Amino acid sequence: MATLDRTRIWIGLDDTDTPDSGCTTSTFDDLLKSISHLNDFQIIERRLVRLWPFAERRTRGNGALSCIIECSTDSLPEFEIAISSFFNELEDTLNSEGEIYSLTSPALIYSFEELDEEMYWEAVREKVEISDRINKLSGVNKMTLNSDWGLIGASSAMAWKPNSNSTWELISWRYPQNIGKKRKITSSVIREMESEHPETYVNRDPTKEKGLIAPRTPCPVLYGIRGASPDSVLSAHEWLQSNSEVEKCQRFAIHRTNQLSDDHVNGFFTSTVLTRPIETKGGHSTIQVMLSGESKTLVAFKEGGDVNRLLRRLIPGDRINWIGLESPDGSIHLERLRIESSVPRVIGRPTCCNNKTMRSTGLNQPLKCDFCLKIIDRYWLSEDISLSKLELTNGWVEPSPSQRRHLSRPLSLGEPTLSIL
């Protein structure tokens, strides 16, 4: 998009890392530095976009990068030469230690027009066929290595349109000599940072006293701080870097993100429980529910914590609200759960002398105490569902922070909305 003597450009990059090294965020920062010499160069906004968690060829976190830049229109030929040169150098780097890892499929795209937002919604909620995506990218400038799979992530990141609920992540990168070594940032420092900067999100898991901002892989990232605004994450970063107990970073950048957005799901559903829970190997649990006239399987993994514990307390007839993601096998992997209404839990017959249970005198007949011979109408004792030892937010439960998806919106940021299907 050209305005007078300036042109706006959308750039997307995905899948440049391997299981053991690299990070697309770092590579993307290198890319932007390689074109920063262009006349009137300006970064309008960097974006980090998470996509469908079940994608077959997903990378760590299944995230892709995009950026909107502007430069002088007369610099466009130089821009295209520089970006092509960068991709060629990336290929050389990935080939430097032998063949490129077979599942790494780097893709770089740039466009002078915005891409259709529907490409984002497809990729954040369902499987995308590469042939369909290539057809939609006809006429768009694209470069790939190994295969075209990276085009899905790169184009989806470009197509995402943020809104007022977007979150931000500041990513800092390590000095090269530190990569592969243990990161110097403790859980206690992260706890203090969280206390000092309340507008940052999901910094640690208090149930495990575990920090969540530093990755555990040998990648170039030192840490990533998520928050409500660019100022909130920058302030937290500066606070960390001023602390002598924290490793110093080489560089950093702030990205707008779709993290904590719930874009991968479509609100919550209400269902009636059909079966008692079945506990499978490993402590995972499943139940059958009725949804729009069909039986659906809801799965709560052991790692889901309170979601798993609440699901195991359900019985047929309970009405529940739930949010989850349909997996390729058709089951729903639960992310949040709430009891809307419950049926009584039968606990036994009434008691009489010495707390002895009264007995039936026959089919549809009264109850009788075997000791004092007292007779009463037959009935069962019952109680409500127990919600004890569950951490509830207006009735909702969710996994601990370390077990949530990047896309899942914490209950602390607001209650789920009803599905619009």
**Does residue 155 share a domain with residue 7?**
yes
pLDDT digits (tens, 9 = 90+) for 147-156: 899 999 999 9
Q: Which of 198, 226, 257 is the last residue of a domain?
A: 257
3-state secondary structure 199-265: CEECCEECCCCEECCCCCCCCCEEEEEEECCHHHHHHHHHHHHCCCCCCCCCEEEEEEECCCCCCCC
**Does residue 201 share a domain with residue 117?**
no
CATH value at residue 42: 3.30.70.2200
Measured distance CA(63)–CA(204) in Å, rounded:
20
Asked whether residue 264 is assigned to any structural domain, the reply reads no
Between helix 150-159 and helix 118-125 the angle, nearest 10°, is 130
Provide CB contacts within 8 A for 227, sequence distance 6+: 167, 168, 169, 170, 197, 199, 200, 201, 233, 236
Domain count, the chain: 4
As given in the structure block, the two tokens for residue 383 are 């109680």
User: In the prediction, which pLDDT does 406 show?
Assistant: 95
**Does residue 151 share a domain with residue 87?**
yes
Cβ burial 327-338 (10 Å sphere, 16+ → b, else e)? eeeeebbbbbbb
Confirm if 376 and 358 have CB atoms less than 8 A apart. yes
Asked whether residue 418 is assigned to any structural domain, the reply reads no
User: In the prediction, which pLDDT does 1 show?
Assistant: 65
Element counts in the chain: helices (H) and strands (E): 8, 24
Q: Which helix (H) or strand (E) holds 90?
A: helix 76-95
Query: What is the CB-side half-sphere exposure of residue 338 using CA atoms within 13 A?
Result: 17
User: In the prediction, which pLDDT does 208 show?
Assistant: 85
**Does residue 311 share a domain with residue 278?**
yes
Identity at 369, one-letter amino acid code: C
**Does residue 354 share a domain with residue 340?**
no
**Does residue 339 share a domain with residue 370?**
no
- pTM here is 0.91
Range of the domain at 397: 269-344+384-413
Asked whether residue 357 is assigned to any structural domain, the reply reads yes
pLDDT digits (tens, 9 = 90+) for 62-92: 899 999 999 999 999 999 999 999 999 998 8
Measured distance CA(204)–CA(394) in Å, rounded:
23
| pLDDT digit string (tens) for the chain, length 421 residues | 656 699 999 999 999 887 667 799 999 999 999 999 999 999 999 999 999 999 887 666 689 999 999 999 999 999 999 999 999 999 888 876 555 666 688 999 999 999 999 999 999 999 999 999 999 999 999 999 988 999 999 999 999 999 988 999 999 999 999 999 999 999 999 999 999 999 999 999 988 888 999 998 889 999 999 999 999 999 999 999 999 999 999 999 999 999 999 999 999 999 999 999 999 888 999 999 999 999 999 999 999 999 999 999 999 999 999 999 999 999 999 999 999 999 999 888 888 988 888 898 888 899 988 888 888 888 888 899 999 999 999 999 999 999 999 999 999 999 999 987 6
**Does residue 334 share a domain with residue 362?**
no
Asked whether residue 419 is assigned to any structural domain, the reply reads no
Asked whether residue 420 is assigned to any structural domain, the reply reads no
User: In the prediction, which pLDDT does 99 show?
Assistant: 57
**Does residue 326 share a domain with residue 220?**
no
Q: Which of 257, 286, 302 is the last residue of a domain?
A: 257
DSSP state of 356: P
**Does residue 155 share a domain with residue 14?**
yes
**Does residue 187 share a domain with residue 138?**
no
CATH value at residue 199: 3.90.600
**Does residue 369 share a domain with residue 276?**
no
